[in-house]
Amino acid sequence: MFTMRVIPKAVIGMLSILALDFAISSSQSDQGAPETSAVQAEVILIPGGEFLMGKDGEGDCSPAHKVYVDSFYMDKYEVTNAQYAKFCEETGRGLPEFWGIKEFHNGPDFPNHPVVGISWRDAEGYAEWAGKRLPIEAEWEYAARGGLVDMNYPHGDELDSSQANYTLTDLEGTVAVGSFPPNGYGLHDMTGNVWEWVADYYAKDYYESSPRENPTGPEKGRFKVIRGGGWHSGPSCNRVYYRNALSPNWVDFAVGFRCVKDKH
């Protein structure tokens, strides 16, 4: 049975948050700076390879097991409000749940903040429109590790407020994508800022029988996996191997996504 370990009080409980506007080019101390023009949907080539996925003794993140993933392209940043708004305009899809609510940093006043208030199905729709797809869980973790071996975070075994937007930074909400340093592959916010939808269904025992090459998760399930922690989450929930999941129809002010594309 699925047990929610992070979301209930912090996300499903819908914490009240303060408005904060960060420019993508601003320093972390330059709070309240105006947004710059919308960032481009840049992608980075992630070279294929083998890595140790998961962590022994960590519940549904266990056992640690070797996985190989093919090369693929991944969005450098989480999908932004501006990018998602263009998708809605061109397709007629409804705007996100919390659009225009400044306390959620959602809407045209925050073009470079990660979009939130979108379901897994919304994220999948955007990815298809953009000629991409959602990452499989193994691709996501492989990319988040940034080439580091058996480390807890994209920058090493410890996490501090200079590396990611999480609870100890006291930023009270999302920040513009790219406000923190990239990992070894050049990807930003692979831990912190917002949780990210991935393609896989969730099963807590999936790692016990996961295929070695390009595993795509269970064939069916009630929940879809989310990865990466977020601004409201503590260090343990922001570890690169940490797993959580939500209903694919759920929308939340702390869950966003990024896309990938196959390398042909």
Q: pLDDT tens-digit profile of 162-181? A: 999 998 887 889 999 999 99
DSSP 139: H
Distance between first and last Cα of the chain: 39
259 contacts 126 by C-beta, under 8 angstroms? yes
Q: Is 3 exposed, middle or buried (0-12, 13-18, 19+ CB in 10 A)?
A: exposed
pLDDT of 171 reads 83
pLDDT of 169 reads 82
119 contacts 97 by C-beta, under 8 angstroms? no
- Would you list the domain boundaries of the chain? 1-264
Which pTM value belongs to this model? Answer: 0.87
Token pair recorded at residue 167 = 């609870």
Positions of the chain with pLDDT lower than 70, given as ranges: 1-37
Which residues of the chain form beta strands (DSSP E)?
43-46, 49-53, 65-69, 72-75, 195-201, 224-227, 244-246, 255-256, 260-262
CATH topology of domain 1-264: paralog of FGE (formylglycine-generating enzyme) (3.90.1580)
Cα angle 13, 113, 195; round to 5 = 45
Distance CA 122, CA 145 (A): 26
Q: Of all helices (H) and strands (E), which one includes residue 137?
A: helix 137-145
Token pair recorded at residue 126 = 């955007």
pLDDT of 4 reads 34
